[in-house]
Amino acid sequence: MEKFIKWLEEYYAPVAARIGEQRHLKAIRDGIVSLIPLLLMGSLFLIIAFPPIPALAKMVEPYVASLCSVNNATMGLMGLMASFSIAYSLASSYKMDPLGNGLISVATFMLATPFTKDGNITAGWMGSKGLFVAMIISIFAVEVQRFMIRKNLVIRMPEGVPPAVARSFMSLIPGFITITVVWFINSVLSLSATNVQDIIYKILAAPLLSLGGSLPAFLLAIFFAQLLWCIGIHGAALVGGVMSPVYLTLAQQNAAAKAAGLPIPNIVCQQLWDVYGNIGGSGATFALVLMLLFAARSTQLKALGKSGIGPAFFAINEPILFGMPIVMNPVLMIPFIFAPLVSITIAYFAMDAGLVDKMFAMAPWTTPPIINAFLDSGDMRSAILQLFCFGVTGIIYYPFFKMWDDAKAKEEAGAKQSKKSDPNVIIGA
């Protein structure tokens, strides 16, 4: 076990960190994260449009279309906005002009998108369906400009010209090339009655989504995240960062289906992790915190339970992770890895069997348990399912908690003994 932890530290962590910190992936993550407030706002209106109480639902029924329009303008434009925000963050990371690059990327994104015969924008491609094209185009647009700046193939204004003007001239030739290339590709594709959006969706996005949206892949991603936490690295931020385009797209598909009155397609989505994998924080430690608080014999662990219980309601558990500690602790690592995996698997099959409704709304990840389960699906049974999963995580944690608590209590008793014989020994806080 010691060797395994060492191996994790030496080989796994650096590789994972390098992937998580890769410039383009980071730009995609930062670009998409900047959209989350909008997704949450859209979600809120969706919850209002489809309230979980039948009497209320009947009352808002005439306003459903108007309430859904908020969702259409936020979640429904996720792809379009990402084409701006990803180019913006990538250009800032290169210390290039973020605004200019963002704008070129939006224009290019629209160019790649098919319009209707009457010249209208196709709303379908503006949402998560266009997200992958947005990622590719924004990276392409910024990289073209970077390449040309490096080769000095840009128009440089003499000194004394205001920087804003100089910058816009600088992006002129690269922007022209980006747009021309995409225009050319799209024109060739249109000969066979297709377009960039369609092709990318079919060959890239659809397979990625069905693969990333499968239960085994989801569990694997969480396994990797938990493993990172075991060596004290923020696994959810790293793995979630890489996977969030997939999970958020699946979440938006659910929201769109709900708004359109269709059955909700995906069980795996961002919320499955938030609601069932993170009850009380990474590793579903809520049950563990309660044990620390009410069942610990060790005074240190009891104190930890006290400081950990408040944050646990908001899915924050660093005090537990580093204080118990779970990090680098071969005993507690085991339930820490498996509790969320088991909890998510249970939730998955419960939804698959139709025992509870699938999730369409998205509450912030800091929303307390029960409330988040209820809000995200609008189904009271979800809260019961979450309680059940919470109970299961408690059963998984208990034997390991007991083992650790006994060891700690013994240690403390030993320290007290030696303190009696030697008044100079001070017990560590």
Partner 1 sequence: MKILLVCASGMSTSLLVTKMQKASNDSGSQDEIFACSVDQLEEFIDTCEVVLIGPQIRYKAKSIGEIAAGKNKGFAIIDSVSYGMVDGKKVLEQAYALKQS
Q: Which of 290, 293, 324, 342 binds partner 1 (CB under 8 A)?
A: 324
Site string for partner 1, 28-47 (x = CB under 8 A): --x--x--------------
Nearer Cβ to partner 1 (16/251): 16
Stretch that binds partner 1, among 52-60, 98-106, 299-307, 377-385 (CB under 8 A): 299-307
Binding of partner 1 at residue 22 (CB under 8 A)?
no
Residue type, 375: L
Contact of 343 with 276, CB cutoff 8 Å = yes
Binding of partner 1 at residue 13 (CB under 8 A)?
yes
- Residues recorded for the chain: 429
Considering the complex, what minimum distance in angstroms separates the CB of residue 232 from partner 1? 5
Token pair listed for 183: 């225009």
Nearer Cβ to partner 1 (30/143): 30
- List phi, psi (to 5°) of 115: -95, 160
* DSSP codes, 12-36: IHHHHHHHHT-HHHHHHHHHHHTTH
The closest alpha carbon to 113, from 173, 189, 56, belongs to 189
Binding of partner 1 at residue 229 (CB under 8 A)?
yes
List C-alpha distances in Å: 26 to 30, 88, 204, 213, 349. Answer: 6, 12, 20, 21, 33
Owner of token pair 């590709």: 185
Token pair listed for 12: 């796994």
Q: Which of 314, 348, 388, 398 binds partner 1 (CB under 8 A)?
A: 314
Burial class (CB in 10 A: 0-12, 13-18, 19+), 2: exposed
Considering the complex, what minimum distance in angstroms separates the CB of residue 201 from partner 1? 30
Considering the complex, what minimum distance in angstroms separates the CB of residue 83 from partner 1? 20
Q: Which of 51, 212, 232, 368 binds partner 1 (CB under 8 A)?
A: 232
Owner of token pair 């009155």: 261
Binding of partner 1 at residue 143 (CB under 8 A)?
no
Considering the complex, what minimum distance in angstroms separates the CB of residue 186 from partner 1? 34
The whole-angstrom separation of Cα 107 and Cα 112 is 9
Binding of partner 1 at residue 68 (CB under 8 A)?
no
Binding of partner 1 at residue 320 (CB under 8 A)?
yes
Nearer Cβ to partner 1 (30/412): 30
Number of residues forming the site for partner 1 (CB under 8 A): 32
Considering the complex, what minimum distance in angstroms separates the CB of residue 242 from partner 1? 14
Centroid of chain to Cα 253 = 15
Helix (H) or strand (E) holding 423: none
Give residues 329-388 in contact with partner 1 (rule: CB under 8 A): 366
Binding of partner 1 at residue 233 (CB under 8 A)?
yes
Name the 3-class secondary structure at 121.
Answer: strand
Stretch that binds partner 1, among 178-186, 193-201, 227-235, 343-351 (CB under 8 A): 227-235
Binding of partner 1 at residue 9 (CB under 8 A)?
no
The whole-angstrom separation of Cα 140 and Cα 27 is 13
Residue 280, sorted as left (phi over 0), alpha (psi -120 to 50) or beta, turns out to be left
Which residues are within 8 A (CB) of 222 and not within 5 positions of it... i.e. 6 or more apart?
239, 273, 277, 340, 341, 344
Token pair listed for 158: 């003499």
Stretch that binds partner 1, among 126-134, 138-146, 255-263, 301-309 (CB under 8 A): 301-309
Q: Angle at CA 95, nearest 5°, toward 159 and 234?
A: 165
- List phi, psi (to 5°) of 276: -110, -25
Stretch that binds partner 1, among 62-70, 96-104, 236-244, 340-348 (CB under 8 A): 236-244
The whole-angstrom separation of Cα 3 and Cα 12 is 13
Q: Which of 323, 335, 340, 378 binds partner 1 (CB under 8 A)?
A: 323
Binding of partner 1 at residue 21 (CB under 8 A)?
yes
Considering the complex, what minimum distance in angstroms separates the CB of residue 358 from partner 1? 27
Considering the complex, what minimum distance in angstroms separates the CB of residue 233 from partner 1? 5
Q: Which of 4, 184, 294, 322 binds partner 1 (CB under 8 A)?
A: 322
List C-alpha distances in Å: 266 to 75, 351, 360. Answer: 16, 10, 9
Give residues 182-221 in contact with partner 1 (rule: CB under 8 A): none
Binding site for partner 1 (CB under 8 A): 13-14, 16-17, 20-21, 30, 33, 229, 232-234, 236-238, 303-304, 307, 311, 314, 316, 318-325, 327, 366, 429
